[in-house]
Structure 1
Amino acid sequence: MANKNKDENIHSNVSNRSVYSNRNLWSGILFGIGLAAFIDETVFHQLLHWHHFYDKSTTDVGLISDGLFHAFSWFATIGGLFMLADLRRRNAFSHMRWWGGKFLGSGGFQLYDGTIQHKLMRIHQIRYVENVVVYDLVWNILAILMMIIGVSLIFRTRRRPHSGKAVSHEHS
C-alpha cells in the first residue's frame, strides 16, 4: 500500500511539474505578446506617429484601430501577469522559463506583425518612407533574435526540475 501511494505521489509531482512548466511558458508568452504590442502601440503609433494599426482608411478609423489594438495588448499583458501571480502563489514560478516565453512571445508577435500585417495583409507599414526595406529588415531580424533567445532559454529549462516545491492553496 505504501508503494502505491509513493508511485501516485511521484506521478502527481511529474504531472504538476509539467503543468506548471507549461503555465510558466504561456504566462511569459502572453506577457511578451502584450509587451511587444504595447511598445509598438506606444512608440510607433503614438509617439513617433509612423503608422496606425489600420492605415487603409481615414485617420479616425486608424485611431479607433489603435485603441482596439491597445486593449488587446492590455488584456494579453494582464492575463500573463495573473498567471504569473498564480505561479508565484503556488511556489511554481520558473524565472528562466518565463523569460524564455516572454522573448518567444515578443519576438513571435513582432515577426507576425512584420511579415503578415506589414507584407501579406498590408494593413500598415513600419514607416512610410521610400526605402522601407531597411526598417523591415531591422524589425524582422530583431524579432528572430528575440525568438532565438526565447527558444534557447526554454530549451535550457526543458529538463531542469523546478527548485521549489509546487504548492496548491486551492483547498486550504
Structure 2
Amino acid sequence: MTQPHETSYSARNLWSGILFGIGAIAFIDEAVFHQLLHWHHFYDRSTTEVGLVSDGVFHAVSWFATIAGLFLLADLRRRHALHWGRWTGGVLIGAGSFQLYDGTIQHKVLGLHQIRYVDDLIVYDIVWHAVAIAMLVAGIVTVVRTRRSVAQPSEA
C-alpha cells in the first residue's frame, strides 16, 4: 500500500516536471519564435516597444516556472524521492498543455498574437496543435505508466 508521503512525493515529481515543462517550452517559444525568427511578440496588438516589453514579462514568468520546477527537483533528489519517469511525464504534460493553451487561447481566442503573420495560417496552426497534443498524450501515457512504480523512486 502506498504511504501518504509517497503520494506527496509522487505529486511533487509531477508538479516539478509540469513547472519545468511550462518554463522550458515557453523559453523555446520566446527564444525561437520571438527573438530568432521574429515571427511575433507575446502581445502584438500595439507598438513594437510594447511587444518587446510583453516579451520580457513573458520571459520572466517562464523563467520563474523553470526555476520553481528545478527547486522542487533538487528537493526530490535530496530526499531520494525523485522518480525520473514521473518527472519526465510531467515535463511533457506541462509543455504540451502550455503549447495547446498558447495556440488556442492566446492565438485564437484572445488574438494576442499569431504564430506567424502569413496569408495561410492553417499549416502553422495544425503543426502547432499537433505537436502540443503529441506532447500532452505522451506525458499522460508516461504518468499513467509510472503510477505503479512510484513507490520505488530512483536514487539518481
TM-score by length of 2: 0.96
Structure exhibiting the larger radius of gyration computed from Cα positions: 1
Distance 1:102 1:165, change over 3 A: closer
Pick from 49, 61, 66: which aligns with 1:60? 49
Q: Any idea what the Cα deviations from partners look like across 1:8-41, whole Å, max 9, x if unmatched?
A: xx7xx61011000000000000000000000000
Q: Offset at 1:158? A: 1.4
Q: Does 1:98 align with 2:98?
A: no
Provide structure 1 residue ranges, at least 5 long, that are not aligned to the other structure.
Answer: 1-9, 167-172
Structure 2 CA distance, aligned partners of 1:152 and 1:160? 14
Pick from 137, 152, 163: which aligns with 2:126? 137
Identity of matched residues, % = 63
Q: Offset at 1:160? A: 1.9
Q: Offset at 1:164? A: 4.5
Pick from 96, 100, 110: which aligns with 1:111? 100
Q: Any idea what the Cα deviations from partners look like across 1:126-164, whole Å, max 9, x if unmatched?
A: 000011110000000000000000000000011224324
SS of the residue corresponding to residue 122 of structure 1 reads coil
Structure 1 CA distance, aligned partners of 2:150 and 2:27? 33
Distance 1:124 1:91, change over 3 A: same
The one-letter amino acid paired with 1:104 is: I
State the superposition RMSD in angstroms: 1.4
Q: Does 1:79 align with 2:65?
A: no
Q: Does 1:162 align with 2:151?
A: yes
Aligned to 1:151: 140
Q: How many residues align?
A: 155
Q: Does 1:69 align with 2:58?
A: yes
Distance 1:83 1:57, change over 3 A: same
Q: Is the 8 A contact 2:82 2:154 kept in 1?
A: no
TM-score by length of 1: 0.87
The one-letter amino acid paired with 2:139 is: G
